[in-house]
Structures are given as C-alpha cells and as structure tokens.
Amino acid sequence: MEPVEEQEVLQQARQLLREAPLIDGHNDFAYILRGWFAGTSQAQEQRRYRSIPIGQTDVDRVKKSGLGGQFWSAFVPAPPEEHEPHLHAFLHTVQQIDLIAQVIDSAPDTFEFAYSADSIPRIFGTGKIACLVGIEGLHQIGGSMAALRQLHRLGVRYATLCHDANNEFADSATAQRPRHGGLSPRGSQAIREMNRIGMMIDLSHTSDDCQRQVLALSKTPVIFSHSSCYGLRAHPRNVHDDVLALLKKNNGLIMITFLRELSGIDELSSQKASCSTVVDHIVYAARCTGWEHVGVGSDFDGMLEGPTGLDDVTAFPCLIAEMLRRDISRDQMQMVMGGNLLRVLKDVENYATRQRNDGASVLQDTVLPVWTEAQREMLLAKGAERGLVPAGNSETV
C-alpha cells in the first residue's frame, strides 16, 4: 500500500490532469496493431482494440492514462535508401492512418479526431481525448509534395523529416554517415511547403546539422516530438544545448521522451532511466529554453520497456506527480503538459492562413507526360475550332 503522502500527490496529479490537457507528442500504438493483427481481419472487430496482450497501449489503458490529447504516429519503417521513392511506404502510411481512424471510431466515448489547435480544448472539455496524427519520416510521402498535402487533409499535423536512415530530404542522427550534410535542397523545399500548408516540422531523429539548418530556414516554430537532452545523456538522438538555444529563438518545442536509452543521465553512470530522470530532462530543457518550450513525447510502443515508473500509458499521473514533487509551478506544468504544444500548433496554422490569403505558390510535383505530341496538337486544334485561346495568349476572339 502506498504511503498517505504518496497517495495525496497522485491525487493532486490526477486533479491537474482533469483541469488541463496532457498532450503526448508520440505513440506507436498503430504500429503495434499492424504487427499484431497482420494477415488477419481481427482488427476489424472493435473490441480487439480495447485490450491486447502486448505493448504499452490499448483503449482500456488509455482510459486510465489521464491523457487529454495524443499524437498517434502513423509509423512506417524506412526502406533502404536505394529503394526511394518508397511508394509502398506511402501506401502503408495511408493504411496506418486508416487504422488510427478505426481505433478512434471504435471508442467514440473516449476519442475524437482533432484537426486544429482550437478543437483540442473543446474535445478535452467533453471528457474525450483529442487525437492527432504524425508521420515519422518523409520517406512516407513517396517523394511527392502532393502526397504530403493529402496526408495533411487526412489529419496529419506533423512530419518527422527522417527516421533511422537518411532519405532524399534529410540526414538521420543514427545513419552511418551523412548523405547531404544536413538538409538537402529538396528538403529545403519541403520545409517551405510544410510551412505553407500548416504542417509542423518534427526534428526528432534528424542530424545536428539538419536541425541547425531547419531552425535557420523555417518560418514557423518546429518541434522535437520525442527527444531528450544531450547535456544529460550523450546520445546522437538527443538535442545539443546550442540547438536548444536556437529552438528558443524559433519559439519551438522539445517534447521529452521516455525512451530508456535517451532518458538516463550518463552512459557510464549506474543511474538507470526512471520517472525521475525523465523529469530531470524536462527541468534541464526548461533551464536551457524556458518553460515555454518544453513538452512531453513518450514514444510508448516504440520501446519494449519504459523507464522505471513509466512503463505504459497508465503511468502518466506518476510523471505529473514527480513534477509536483519538484515544486514546479502549476502554470509551468500546464505549459509542459499541453499549453506549449497548443501555442506552436496555433502559430503554424496562423502562418498557413496568411500564406493562403497571400496566394503563396504551391510546390508542384513533376508530372510525367500522359499524351503524345500528336495528341496534344489534336486537342489544340479542337480547342481552336471552339474559339479557345491558349493561356497567356493576348489575342481576343
């Protein structure tokens, strides 16, 4: 039985979770479902999502989590670089988004899709969890900006530039060697298009050089959806202090992850990753950037085991309780829980609105010819018979 004092802190944590939405930046539940139900039709039965015998997430456990919002990752592994443009990855991405939508539809009393920053507090106010989608690497768009735009229409609100391997857009933090020296020219184009359409740019998994280049280029705040601090744990996936300083100037957000290998204090230390060390990373990031630039991105179901005290989604109240023990103010905690993410998403949306109002140009895909030259000439001749004039021709008829 827990001591009375511990029970009181947990009660305070749960009360805080009822007052303000905790928005988790990254959860791979959909990929667990894809693997668990692969080759079967079982996933079509709604009850199958409620309780599964593996992983760190299911509908029943989410109901006990205290979450107010969740970014579900439509994760698809990156194929080898030589297999670009990854058309199968795009197909699998659409399937993953469809699976996420099925999970949401299976529990209408628990989940609701959120398509904007303003909808998240409204959904939270109804007692439901606001659901958003992220993709974990631009390999998932098949090299197509048209695909990126359609994923945004389907509810994807952030895109990680790359995953564990380099792609045509960006270098990965964990690739054997860089391919572009950070961001490629095509990657720079993608940044501008993501800014234009209102897609948050996620720098988790990217190389240090890529991060610095994107922070210099992006016109909107960027996020790290599931990363921690290199100053506490020297891991290539963690964020260096100078990048955190640039993130503050960008008005962006680092969402601290629960991954054990990122959440320890030092590789050589005997101290293991725990709920306490995760909060150490939250506090460290806040000291580097200010509390306005820190959030939470668990990466549940992207790991076999969480830190001590944070092993599945039901443990979120323990995280909030540990923050309460640190005498972090309620205003600061509510910023970390979700207020900062709402501000970043709103800023990204507002920039996209201004771009639309200003008539900003769309980054088009290169479309291969579908007609022969003879067919084009025939169509032009028919048009001339109707009195049609090619665009740009000043003649009047």
CA dihedral 36, 38, 41, 47 (to 10 degrees): 20
Amino acid identity, residue 234? A
Distance CA 101, CA 123 (A): 16
- Confirm whether 347 is domain-assigned: yes
23 backbone dihedrals φ, ψ, rounded to 5°: -110, 110
pLDDT of residue 2: 56
Torsion angles phi and psi, residue 286, rounded to 5: -65, -35
Number of domains, the chain: 1
**d(Cα 284, Cα 255) in Å, to the nearest integer?**
12
Rg of the chain over all Cα atoms, to the nearest angstrom: 23
Q: How far apart are alpha carbons 247 and 289 in whole angstroms?
A: 7
Give the Å distances, CA to CA, from 263 to 59, 87, 287, 359, 373: 26, 34, 17, 44, 60
pLDDT of residue 268: 57
Please name which of 229, 251, 295 lies closest in space to residue 24, comparing C-alpha atoms: 295
pLDDT at 187: 98
- Count of alpha carbons within 13 angstroms of residue 390, beta-carbon side: 6
- What residues contact residue 313 under an 8 Å CB cut-off, 6+ apart? 27, 56, 57, 61, 62, 64, 65, 67, 298, 300
Does the residue 378 lie in any domain?
A: no
Looking at residue 336, its pLDDT comes to 99
> Do the domain assignments include residue 162?
yes
Residues near 92 by beta carbon (within 8 Å), at least 6 away in sequence = 76, 140
What CATH code is carried by the domain that includes residue 65? 3.20.20.140
Report the predicted TM-score, pTM, of the whole model to 2 decimal places. Answer: 0.93
In contact, 182 and 213? CB cutoff 8 Å: yes
- Kindly provide the b/e burial profile for residues 47-64, where b requires at least 16 CB atoms within 10 angstroms of the residue's own CB: ebbbebeebbbbbebbbe
**Could you give the CA distance from residue 89 to residue 76 in angstroms, rounded to a whole number?**
6
* Token code pair at residue 55: 């992983």
The CA dihedral of 187, 72, 24, 58, to the nearest 10 degrees, is -160
The interaxial angle of helices 185-197 and 340-357, nearest 10 deg, is 90
Instruction: Note whether 279 and 320 are within 8 A (CB).
Output: no
Q: Helix, strand, or coil here: 80?
A: coil
Count helices and strands (H / E) in the chain: 15, 9
Q: What is the pLDDT of residue 265?
A: 73
- Asked whether residue 377 is domain-assigned, the answer is no
- Name residue 262's amino acid: L
Cα 7 to Cα 13: distance, rounded to the nearest angstrom: 10
Walk along the chain (397 residues) and give the pLDDT tens digit of each residue: 456 578 899 999 999 999 999 999 999 999 999 998 875 655 455 557 888 889 999 999 999 999 999 999 999 998 765 555 567 889 999 999 999 999 999 999 999 999 999 999 999 999 999 999 999 999 999 999 999 999 999 999 999 999 999 999 999 999 999 999 999 999 999 999 999 999 999 999 999 999 999 999 999 999 999 999 999 999 999 999 999 999 999 999 999 999 999 998 766 554 689 999 999 999 999 999 999 999 999 999 999 999 999 999 999 999 999 999 998 999 999 999 999 999 999 999 999 999 999 999 999 999 889 999 999 999 999 999 999 988 766 554 3
Is 23 domain-assigned? yes
Known catalytic residues?
Answer: 26, 28, 136, 163, 205, 226, 299
| Residue corresponding to tokens 């760190």 | 56
pLDDT score at 396: 45
Domain membership of residue 381 (yes or no) is no
Whether residue 386 is contained in a domain is answered as no
Residue 236 belongs to some domain of the structure? yes
Please report the pLDDT score of residue 289 as a whole number.
98
Contact in structure between 90 and 144 (CB atoms under 8 Å): yes
Dihedral sign of CA atoms 102, 60, 43, 32 in order = positive
- Domain interval for residue 27: 4-368
